[in-house]
Structure 1
Amino acid sequence: MTHLSVIIPVYNAEAFVKQNVQKVLAELATQSFAWEVIAVDDGSRDRSLLFLQELAKENPELRVVESKCNRGKGHAVRLGIEHAQGHYVVFNDVDLAYPVSEIFRLLAVLEKGTDIAIACRVLPESRYEISPAFFRYLYTRHVMGRFFNLLVRKLLLPGLLDTQAGLKGFRAEVAKTVFARQTLFRFSFDVEILYIAQKFGFKIEQVPIFFRYFFEETTVRFFEDTVKMVSDLCRIKLNDWRGRYSATTPCKCR
């Protein structure tokens, strides 16, 4: 059986998708276990899908899944999990803000028996590297991220310090259980997935991480997305009240 499935959601990333996926493939090739990479194109309007398909022709370990329209990162991750064959599943952002080596850090935690391992950027042991031209963007991102995480801890997930890091790992059966009940597909999907996992009693471990920022994420609109994310927190509470996260009632995708 495949030991590890790495899922990479992709949207309008033609500037770096090819070289970054090649980096993932190259580092995984150094491992002794069986692995696969699943790149999910979320309705890109540029040449991202074309570049991925070209890579897949040369690399049998790479599978490309296409979404005909843009439905959000959470939907892309879900598609990847539906296609995954690994015993463990890790998803990572295509910009590799979390280097490939950090995938193995999460995998090691999963192999010790935890159900879910999530990157946590605010743990004291975490380290980061940023471009000097990036301070203003990062400061805005940091302030708004901390505000959102405070709301998440107060309303839904006490004890989890960082729900929004783009690197998370699961035992495969756990991933399939929680993502089957997913209803949110954009920037709040991480919170919903972790909330469902908490409802099922799955063990979630926060892992210190190395991350880096070298360019602005053009698919993120801070203020608009923050308003939507707060609205999504209310939706999660309402879904829970309606019983949509129960073991006997899988959610329908919207």
Structure 2
Amino acid sequence: MTTPTHRTDEYPELSLVFPVFDEAPNVDRVIEAACKTGEQLVSSFEVVVVDDGSRDGSAQLIDRWSARDPRVRAVRHASNIGYGAALRSGLTAARGELIFFSDADLQFDLAELANLLAHSRDFDIVAGYRSPRRDPWPRVAIARTWALMVRGIFGLRIRDIDCAFKLFHRRVIAALPLASVGAFINTELLVRAQAAGFRIHQIPVSHRRRRYGQQTGARPRVVIRAALELMRLYRTLPSVRATKARSSRPGPFPG
């Protein structure tokens, strides 16, 4: 953790975590944006970037950043394991009392992390939902179907489960035995957090379409893996199948 030029003592140490797989066109931009955001918002922060076996030079770009900026920490997987595994590695490596994660594809304005921080004293988790969501309609349709299925099985009333713009207190991450290696990780995080009684607050965040690289979340094998992991969690946590949501802002599911 390091101290930025513009010191702000209102919040505790912050870790910004980014899983990366073949994001070479975005790596420099997202790390630069993360450092700028940390400097503006908190007095002490780190940027944890997890390379999940990239083959396009992403790992080398991350290593270059970590070598020249002590605020940037590189975590590397020798091979591509999956989004959930990369995120879990980043959450485990994070040292901050507040832990934020997002994707490296620049679909979010990291400056809006300020809005999540503003609610961090009153809630254990602050989860963004994309408003409006700028993805192609097939991806939105899949997300809406998934949200309805998860709500029916686990009683999870979250507007945008897979929105990669979430802030947690360290105690939440420490309490949850996460196991997902794929795209199911967001669902597992929220379902387990709800079952454990953590308070979840939802706020809208801006969203833009990916400009560089390719999305993988809607690929058939990714969806199938998520469905299999959902069934495993269903068997593991039968007590939460009908749990009512504790989120502060339930409502419709824009996807």
TM-score (norm 2): 0.83
Other-structure match for 1:148: 146
Q: CA deviation at 1:225?
A: 2.8
What is the root-mean-square deviation of aligned Cα atoms in Å?
2.1
Q: CA deviation at 1:80?
A: 1.4
1:107 to 79, 98, 117: 117
Other-structure match for 2:205: 209
Greater CA deviation, 77-86 or 42-51? 77-86
* Partner Cα distance (2:106, 2:116) in 1: 15
SS at match of 2:208: strand
Which consecutive unaligned segments of at least 5 residues does structure 1 have? 131-136, 244-254
Equivalent pair of 1:27/1:100 in contact (CA under 8 Å): yes
Q: CA deviation at 1:229?
A: 2.5
* Partner Cα distance (1:192, 1:75) in 2: 12
Which consecutive unaligned segments of at least 5 residues does structure 2 have? 2-11, 241-255
**Count of residue pairs the alignment pairs up:** 229
The change in CA–CA distance for 1:219 and 1:226 in structure 2 (over 3 A counts) is closer
Other-structure match for 2:163: 165
SS at match of 2:105: coil
Other-structure match for 2:128: 119
Other-structure match for 2:67: 57
Equivalent pair of 2:14/2:96 in contact (CA under 8 Å): yes
CA deviation profile, 1:120-155 (whole Å, cap 9, x unmatched): 12xxxx345x5xxxxxx6111111111111101111
The change in CA–CA distance for 1:105 and 1:217 in structure 2 (over 3 A counts) is farther
Other-structure match for 2:5: none
* Partner Cα distance (1:149, 1:86) in 2: 30
The one-letter code of the counterpart of 1:201 is G
Q: CA deviation at 1:32?
A: 4.5
SS at match of 2:128: strand
Equivalent pair of 2:123/2:201 in contact (CA under 8 Å): yes
